[in-house]
Amino acid sequence: MSRSDPPAVASQVIVVDDDSGLRTLFVALLERKGFTVDVAPDGRAAYDQISRTAYSVILLDLMMPDVNGFELLERLARECPSLLPRVIVMTGASRRVVETLDTTSIWGLIRKPFDIDELVSAVVACSDGRPRVPPPVSRAPKQLV
């Protein structure tokens, strides 16, 4: 993949998650919204697909076997940083794990379990090139995870 990646196709999404049930759910939800959806079970397979296709959105789980989401993000940052604003991370990882993730360069982060409408809205906004809307500031004290 070169540093001058082609512009994304507005309706192309890749779902990177080791949970086949979630991949199936995301495909059904996003295809109903008019997206073309590809899937990958881990970061290695995803990178192979990302290197061949200009995705408008990369929906990425963090915790996967083989090449995980952190490793894929590191590779994207190193080899094609222009793709990072197209990444929506979705994770059920602990708060401590999530705090190690630099979210400033990606489009956003959605915690599992997630609200389906929130997830679909995020994918639509990201594919349209709209900036992410930061979550409201919580006044509640941090909970230890």
Give the count of domains, the chain.
1
Q: Is 123 inside a domain boundary?
A: yes
85 domain residue, yes or no? yes
* Partners of 13 in beta bridges: 37, 57
68 DSSP β-pair partners: none
Q: Residues 97, 18, 50, 123: what is their CA dihedral angle, to the nearest 10 degrees?
A: -70
Please report whether residue 135 resides in a domain: no
For 11-22, how does the pLDDT look when each residue is reduced to its tens digit (9 = 90+)?
A: 899 999 999 999
User: What's 113's domain CATH number?
Assistant: 3.40.50.2300
Indicate whether 134 belongs to any domain: no
The answer to the question of residue 136 being in a domain is no
Could you report the per-residue pLDDT of 69-121, keeping only the tens digit for each?
A: 999 999 999 999 999 999 999 998 888 888 888 888 999 999 988 899 999 99
Domain coverage including residue 45? 12-127
